[in-house]
Homo-oligomer: A and B are copies of this chain.
Amino acid sequence: MANFELTREYIDLIKEQIEQNDIAHLTETIIDLHPADIAEIYEELSLDEAAFLYLLLDDDTAAEVLINLEEEKRQSFLKALPSEEIARRFIDNMDTDDAADVISEMDEDRQKEVLSYIDDTEVASDIADLLSYEEDTAGSLMAKELIKVKDSWNIIACLRSMRRQVEDVDEVYFVYVVDDDNVLKGTISLKRMLLASSDMLVRDIYNPDVISVSSQAHSEEVAKIMDKYDLVVLPVIDEDGKLVGRITIDDVVDYIREEAEKDYQLASGITEDVEMSDSVWRHTRARVPWLMIGMAGGLFGSRIISAFEGNIAKYPEVVFFMPLIAATGGNVGIQSSAIMVQAIASGNLGIDTSWRKLGKEVSIALLSATALSVLVFLFNLLVGSSQALTLTVATAMFAVVVFASLIGTFLPLMLNKVNIDPAVATGPFITTMNDITGMLVYLMLSAYFFGVFM
């Protein structure tokens, strides 16, 4: 299967075939495509075109395509379909975790209606159970499909039971071992079963070292565990240790990427999760709030500067370097906080005490501050600035770099302690705060040095 790349020509071809009702060629065009590729095509089609194409897909493919659509597109598409068709054509052909994801996007009445049309009552109750978990918990990430054997069985009984169980499961990664109360005891690998003789008991050969997670655990913890222990699938247990589901790594990959992207967006001052394809209005709404915070800071800064108006009128050269100092403060703050936010997000804070972290950050700050101060000092000597200006800029640079890096390090830590996402800090708070502080320090130092030397 070749790697598929969507082109404008390809979309135009499909749109044309749809318009001409050319079912024969259309089927030929899409027959070999992976559902994920068809989903990409769907994103480019109108609702009517999408509905036409949908009629040509077999049930399994249609379900897979639906899962791969962006949420907005999926919702508008499902809105046009009766609940019974959604249940029969889509939900019945999905794994329970995907089914729960799709249903969770509907309003409550529709959820109940769709669930009522699912023929297999066990599947319906599994999905209802999954829907009951809070968002961003292990329970909301897991699927019910898994293969389990009892520790009292022998290998023959296992294989017989597994043959039945695999009909509901796409891929077999692990076989879980439970006791008579469904409490998770361990795993038994297919490898081990292939190597064992058929009358051996599960309890004599299973592996009791199994890492599991509580259904109430946060998704972040799930991601950390799977990442740290290099797991492809993680069993989920309830408060009694009973096996209730399993999480596969592909669901967690999405979470990891989204979190990393969210941190980056927050740090860039974007307050909502937006993508290229979102509407103009949504983009504006996501961007303007932080610009407002920045503006409030800038306006407040304008009041600070105005307090030094007399000095500025007398020595206008003071303002030449004001933007430099403010910008450097902002930059240093962003750097320090980015390191800290990533360390917090990845759980790599280490066990250094706060004092050791402080010591380290102070060292980095002093080194950087010295380097930058010396450079700006030399620059002012070179261009022949006055003694007062040269000293003002160099000392302000030093003070601002040290101050900004300390703020950048400790604000995220403090926000994290009070359970605010520290990534927020790297955007609005820190830049604005350091801009203002930088200007204030600079103007105060200038008032002092110009007072002494002029």
Contacts and interface: CB of A to CB of B under 8 A. Distances in A.
Given A288-B371, A338-B265, A1 B305 contact: no
A215 to B, nearest CB: 14
A344 to B, nearest CB: 9
A20 interface: no
B328 A295 contact: yes
A43 B140 CA distance: 34
Contact of A439 (B280, B284, B305, B323): B323
A36 B263 CA distance: 26
A321 B294 CA distance: 13
A8 B320 CA distance: 50
The complex is assembled from copies of this chain, and their number is 2
A342 B274 CA distance: 10
A163 B292 CA distance: 66
Nearest to A256: B257
A320 B439 CA distance: 11
B327 A367 contact: no
Interface residues of A, number: 126
A56 interface: no
A367 B280 contact: yes
Interface string A309-347: 100110011011111111110111011011110110010
A232 B249 contact: yes
A327 B330 contact: yes
Contacts of A256: 253, 256-257, 260
Contacts of A439: 323
A375 interface: yes
Contacts of A364: 280, 283-284, 287
A258 to B, nearest CB: 10
A260 to B, nearest CB: 3
Contacts of A303: 320
A371 B170 CA distance: 52
Given A1-B211, A322-B319, A277 B194 contact: no
Interface in A209-264: 209-213, 221, 225, 227-232, 248-250, 252-254, 256-257, 260-261, 263-264
Contacts of A328: 291, 294-295, 298
Nearest to A326: B323
A454 interface: no
Interface in A352-369: 353, 360, 363-364, 367-368
Contacts of A268: 267, 334-335, 337-338, 426
Contact of A172 (B6, B190, B275): B190
A400 to B, nearest CB: 11
B191 A287 contact: no
A216 to B, nearest CB: 13
Nearest to A314: B313
Contacts of A305: 319-320, 323
A250 B267 contact: no
A191 B166 contact: yes
Interface of A: 1, 3, 6-8, 11, 34, 36, 43-44, 159, 162-163, 166-167, 169-173, 189-191, 194-195, 209-213, 221, 225, 227-232, 248-250, 252-254, 256-257, 260-261, 263-265, 267-270, 274-277, 280-281, 283-284, 287-288, 290-292, 294-295, 297-299, 301-303, 305-306, 309, 312-313, 316-317, 319-328, 330-332, 334-335, 337-340, 342-343, 346, 348-351, 353, 360, 363-364, 367-368, 371-372, 375-376, 379, 401, 426, 431-432, 435, 439
15 contacts: A1-B212, A3-B213, A34-B229, A43-B350, A170-B191, A253-B256, A280-B364, A283-B339, A283-B364, A290-B331, A290-B335, A291-B401, A305-B320, A319-B319, A330-B330
Given A34-B229, A316-B316, 13 more contacts: A44-B351, A159-B194, A253-B256, A256-B256, A260-B260, A264-B338, A270-B338, A274-B339, A276-B340, A295-B324, A297-B327, A301-B323, A312-B312
